Amino acid sequence: MAIYLNTSKPYESYKELVNSRYFVDKTNIIEEVNERISTNDKYVCITRPRRFGKSSIINMLGAYYSKAVDSSDIFNELEISKNRKYKENLNKYNVIKIDFSDLPDESFEYSEYMNRIRNNIEKDLLKFYPNIPFDKTSSLSDKFHSTEAKFIFIFDEWDFIFNRGLFEEHHNDFLEFLRLLLKDKPYVALAYMTGILPIKKHSSGSALNMFEEFTFLKDRKFEEYFGFTEEEVRDLCIKNKNMKYQELESWYNGYMTATGLKIYNPRSVVLALSNNYCQSYWTNTGAMDEVLEYLKYNILEVRDDVIKMVNGEDVEIEIDEEYRAGQGQPRTREEIYSAMIVLGFLSYYEGLVKIPNNELMKEFKKALVDESFGEVSKIVKSSETMLKATVKGDNETVIKILHEVHNSEIPILKYNDENSLSCVITLAYLYARNTYRIEREEWSGKGFVDFSFHPRRNRDIPFIIELKKDESVDAALNQIKEKEYALKFKKEYKDREVLAVAICYNSKTKEHSCKIEKI
């Protein structure tokens, strides 16, 4: 049986986090929340993608406010203890903490789901207030009233049944349950809830319109508390001693808050530091299948945008309305991008959307293999052959694959603008991201290299690609040598050969040429 009222679980969970090697102190959020207790601002809903530390903050608040424990042993050593009002609310409240994703093991109906929550709350109230006569016919709200006490409500994964597509016919019933429990109730000292999706809106507003929402797109108040900042990641790298900040930056940097603050996904950073190895840690926590389903609804309109973003470009789009709980499958371009931003697959700042980092780039690469992407899928699948041919110096195979890419039915790959040739190269070498760090326009020697391929394994050879339109491959190779593009590689990979790859396109003959040399 779940215990919701005055449980020690938040304290125990937060203490484990504090004792972990890569703990980051976010307790100053408590100062912000304290100001809202028993005021008109006491209803707070903060939504973020998975893995951005929402549950950690939930446990922190539960440990701080609950009268079930004495948590001063934790908080006396943390940043919040420096606040002059630190002890005013420390362990002073009845705390109701509910994780709405905590489900029975067996299959169940909505009525079972909600009855379990209601019954557990009632049992907890009877346990802590045994002398209060509860009328069985009275509402849950009336039972809270009869205690004549103040409560802090902390809800985790408030939107669980929405983002999992459960009980769709009862979504409004669930919102009504929360409204009747919380809205305008004198026993509510604070209602703090988190989830992934912003609150569902009705035509006449929202059943939960008393909540002030702080979303991934628009939060300017709590932005620094969800995710790691650059400074925090740098400090963790110093503590680690083995991992360089630049390596974590290349993998996990790229999310931006509404004010332009750079934010890192905490789980990926901690796992990379714990393993002393950067890779995609996304797979166990967020299903790229969700995004793939969205893209299928609008594949023709969105496909070129995705190719641009995989190529490292930003795509311009104004997101006026955020994707919300209960909205249904997004179908328009704006709805699709809004959903992908809310879920953390894309980053958005000042009207530009992009794939935030290398970790997510690898997830998009996996998605592009799906047959729903048609010609793009075929190109991505041939990218392993492209890499092997390049490393072997097989000019003919490289030319053949480039020719096939150019002849695909994808308008953006027809070289209609200056970035089209680089888009072709990006797709053709997408497989290389598994074993190479790929940089565009990287400074080396006496200029900027079009594409630099930095191997992650000692056995792989580094290489440089220089692109030219309506020029010869020899001219491209000469530029690599004269501008000493390999200089950075020679310093980074001592005593190792570097491949110089010249790729050219003739706009008159519509043919590609390639020449590969070791330098």
- Asked which of 189, 205, 224 is the last residue of a domain, the reply is 224
* Residue 283 covered by a domain: no
CA–CA distance, 459 with 37 (Å, rounded to integer): 59
Tell me which DSSP letter residue 136 carries: T
pLDDT string in tens for the chain (519-residue length)? 679 999 999 999 999 999 999 999 999 999 999 999 999 999 999 999 989 999 999 999 999 999 999 999 999 999 999 999 999 999 999 999 999 999 876 668 999 999 999 999 999 999 999 988 777 778 999 999 999 999 999 999 999 999 888 999 999 999 999 999 999 999 999 999 999 999 987 545 678 999 999 999 999 999 999 999 999 999 999 999 999 999 999 899 999 999 999 999 999 999 999 999 999 888 644 456 777 777 777 777 888 898 899 999 999 999 988 999 988 888 889 999 999 999 999 999 999 999 999 999 888 887 888 887 888 889 999 999 999 999 999 999 999 999 998 888 788 887 766 678 888 899 999 999 889 989 999 999 999 999 999 998 889 999 999 999 999 999 999 999 999 999 988 888 887 899 999 999 998 998 999 999 998
Give the domain extent around 162.
9-224
Domain total in the chain: 4
Where on the phi/psi map is residue 54: left (φ > 0), alpha (ψ -120 to 50), or beta?
alpha
**Is residue 61 located within the same domain as residue 172?**
yes
CA–CA distance, 159 with 181 (Å, rounded to integer): 16
Give residue 36's pLDDT.
Answer: 98
The CATH number covering residue 382 comes to: 3.40.1350
Give residue 22's pLDDT.
Answer: 98
Give residue 283's pLDDT.
Answer: 62
Give residue 416's pLDDT.
Answer: 65
- Asked which of 224, 242, 257 is the last residue of a domain, the reply is 224
Give residue 494's pLDDT.
Answer: 82
**Is residue 392 located within the same domain as residue 482?**
yes
Amino acid code (one letter) for 128: F
* Residue 282 covered by a domain: no
Tell me which DSSP letter residue 151 carries: E
**Is residue 500 located within the same domain as residue 490?**
yes
Q: Are 216 and 341 in contact (CB under 8 A)?
A: yes
* Residue 3 covered by a domain: no
The CATH number covering residue 93 comes to: 3.40.50
**Is residue 136 located within the same domain as residue 40?**
yes
Alpha helices in 69-188 (DSSP H): 72-75, 110-128, 140-147, 160-163, 171-182
**Is residue 22 located within the same domain as residue 162?**
yes
**Is residue 368 located within the same domain as residue 499?**
no
Give residue 29's pLDDT.
Answer: 98
**Is residue 340 located within the same domain as residue 395?**
no
The closest of 101, 86, 320 to 193, measured between CA atoms, is 101
* Residue 369 covered by a domain: yes
* Residue 2 covered by a domain: no
* Residue 48 covered by a domain: yes
The closest of 124, 143, 123, 120 to 133, measured between CA atoms, is 143
- Which tokens in the block code for residue 263? 């934010």
> Would strands 352-354 and 347-349 be described as parallel, antiparallel, or unpaired?
antiparallel
Match 């997101």 to its residue by tokens: 319
Beta-carbon contacts of 494 under 8 Å, excluding residues fewer than 6 positions away, are: none
* Residue 1 covered by a domain: no
* Residue 401 covered by a domain: yes
pTM score over 0.75: yes
- Asked which of 333, 349, 373 is the last residue of a domain, the reply is 373
CA–CA distance, 508 with 492 (Å, rounded to integer): 40
